[in-house]
Amino acid sequence: MDVSSCRAALRGHEAEEQILKDNPGRWVVLPIAYPQVWDMFKKHEACFWTAEEIDFAQDAGGLATLPDKAITSVKKLTLLNSASNGSVYGNLSVLSCRLLCDVTIPEARAFYGMQVAMENIHREAQTYLAETLMPDPTQREADIKELLCMPAVQGLGAYVKEHCSTDTPFAEKAAGCALMKRLFSAGTDVVAYVLKGRKLLPGLVQVQSLIGRDERAHSDFAALLYRMLTHKLPNDLVVCMAKDAVEKSVAAMDALVDYQSMGINRDELVGYHKWCADSVLESLSHGKAFMTPNPYTAMTQEMTSKCEGQEVQPSTGSRHIRVCLSGSDTHPKDYFSLNEDF
Ligand SMILES: [Fe+2]
């Protein structure tokens, strides 16, 4: 079956899917009908964090100690990540809203509401990091424009456009989202891990740790919903999507990162992408495609413990919280304040 007839067939079955069909009887969320879905929402809710909690005070100084090519690599990757939620992949908040509109069960809508909120926080935190490492706004804007024109970066956006557009069947959107969320942050996971090993850029390391944890939760959730579908994608199409995601993510890393100066082995980076792709394929209940061992077992063990809430503790950073906490007579009378008596 070719891709377009497969998409048409999946579309035709969506009205029968439990999580997609009209759901007029669920006026309230309780009692919970899908405990596994609700549980993932509650876990994601428990991991809520804000951009103001990250302390970037030592990052610019740490960056300056790296070799020139490594500095350029970190800056380019930071710019990519700061623009990724809004420009590179289309808008990830809009993609999450699209998924929220597709599903009809309130348990899943609660999760996607959380995902939308976190995507905005990722965007904000990545922007603070970019401001810290590249303080000149004119230069930053020019560099982002240049980055967005790079074919390897455009490849990432093309992937999201192909598999996660409004008219894509939900099964393909969910599988595409599960793969993209995991693989497109895999390269940054490795860079952050290398910097953490050298005790450099603690703000970047913490941001990536928190964002990576959220992205894995989003990937796992998309895979959970995919498994709940009766009508799924053909295996060869999902494997093709996984291989394409690996290729595109590695191509972007090749274009942005000087591996030698960063102390990264490219073969291990590629192997890590393939291992991540196999993990997602297994979560989607499709078989592994690469059978590659994980070259970064220590890193993924740390990530797993963070996913279980054992390690990541938001710290009180130096950044000023942009909410009026103290009250001020410079604010108008009806200004929202958190220290009033109610
Ligand atoms: Fe994100």
How do the domains of the chain map onto residue ranges?
A: 3-307
More confident residue, 72 or 5: 72
Q: How far is CA 315 from the centre of its chain?
A: 21
- Whether the pLDDT of residue 74 is over 50: the answer is yes
Using DSSP, state whether 106 is helix, strand or coil: helix
Look at residue 317 and tell me whether its pLDDT is greater than 70. no
Task: Output the CA 114–ligand 1 centroid distance in Å.
Answer: 12
Expressed in angstroms and rounded, the spacing between residue 176 Cα and the centre of ligand 1 is 15
Among the residue ranges 45-54, 87-96, 223-232, the one predicted with the least confidence is: 87-96
Nearest 5°: phi and psi at 294?
A: -80, 115
Q: Which two tokens stand for residue 294?
A: 């994980």
Between these two residues, 162 and 90, which has the higher pLDDT value?
162
Ligand 1 centre from 118 Cα, in Å? Answer: 7
Where is 227: in which H helix or E strand?
A: helix 202-228
Q: Is the pLDDT of residue 203 over 70?
A: yes
CB neighbourhood size of 230 (10 A): 10
| Gap from CA of 212 to ligand 1 centroid (Å) | 8
- Does the pLDDT of residue 69 top 50, yes or no? yes
User: CB atoms < 10 A from the CB of 101, how many?
Assistant: 11
Query: Which pair of structure tokens corresponds to residue 176?
Result: 């595409």
Cα 187 to ligand 1 centre (Å): 14
**C-alpha span between 321 and 128 (Å, rounded):** 12
Do residues 121 and 51 lie in contact, with contact meaning Cβ atoms separated by under 8 Å? yes
Report CA Rg, the chain.
21
Banded model confidence at residue 28, pLDDT cuts 50, 70, 90 = confident
- In this predicted structure, the answer to whether residue 131 has a pLDDT above a threshold of 80 is yes
Q: What is the pLDDT of residues 247-298, one digit of tens each?
A: 999 999 999 999 999 999 999 999 999 999 999 999 999 999 999 999 998 8
pLDDT attached to residue 32: 93
Determine what percent of the chain is predicted with pLDDT higher than 90.
70
Fold (topology level) of 3-307 = Ribonucleotide Reductase, subunit A (1.10.620)
Question: Does the pLDDT value for residue 26 go beyond 90?
Answer: no
DSSP 26: -
Ligand 1 centroid to residue 193 C-alpha, Å: 18
CA of 84 to the centre of ligand 1 (A): 8
**Which residue carries 């490219």 as its tokens?**
266
- Stretch 156-164: mean pLDDT: 91
Alpha carbons within 13 angstroms on the beta-carbon side of residue 136 total 5
Band of residue 177 on the pLDDT scale cut at 50, 70, 90: very high
- 272, 277, 203, 287: which is closest to 244 by C-alpha? 277
Structural contact between residues 177 and 219, judged by C-beta atoms closer than 8 angstroms: yes
Specify the pLDDT at position 4: 87
- Rounded CA separation 266/232 (Å): 34
Residues 6 or more apart in contact with residue 165 via CB below 8 angstroms: 173
CA of 121 to the centre of ligand 1 (A): 8
Under 8 Å between Cβ of 150 and 254: no
Give yes or no for a cis peptide into 137 (omega within 30° of 0).
no
Highest-scoring range by mean pLDDT, 20-34, 44-58, 298-312: 44-58
339 falls in which pLDDT band (50, 70, 90)? Answer: low
Q: How far is the CA of 298 from the centre of ligand 1 (A)?
A: 23
| Residue 210: pLDDT over 50 | yes
pTM for the predicted model, two decimal places = 0.88
What is the rounded average pLDDT of the residues 61-71? 96
List Cβ neighbours of 157 (8 Å cut-off, separation of 6 or more): 87, 88, 89, 90
- Judged against a pLDDT cut of 80, whether residue 72 lies above it is answered with yes
Mean pLDDT, the chain, rounded, equals 87
Three-state secondary-structure class, residue 207: helix
Q: Are 277 and 245 in contact (CB under 8 A)?
A: yes
211 CA to centre of ligand 1 in angstroms: 6
- For 63, the token pair is 């960056």
In this predicted structure, the answer to whether residue 342 has a pLDDT above a threshold of 80 is no
Assess whether pLDDT exceeds 90 at residue 304: no
d(CA 126, CA 78) in angstroms, rounded, equals: 7
In eight-state DSSP terms, residue 14 is: G
Work out the pLDDT band at 87, boundaries 50, 70, 90.
low
Going from the Cα of 58 to the center of ligand 1, the distance in angstroms, rounded, reads: 24
Q: What Å distances lie between residue 9 and 102, 161, 173, 177, CA to CA?
A: 17, 20, 15, 20
- Phi/psi at 138 (5° precision): -70, -45
Per-residue pLDDT, 305: 66
Residues 286 and 24: beta-carbon distance below 8 Å: no
Angle of CA points 246, 251, 256, to nearest 5°: 130
Q: How far is the CA of 93 from the centre of ligand 1 (A)?
A: 8
Query: How remote is the CA of residue 329 from the centroid of ligand 1, in Å?
Result: 37
- Residue 125 tokens read as 């935190």
Please report the pLDDT score of residue 308 as a whole number.
59
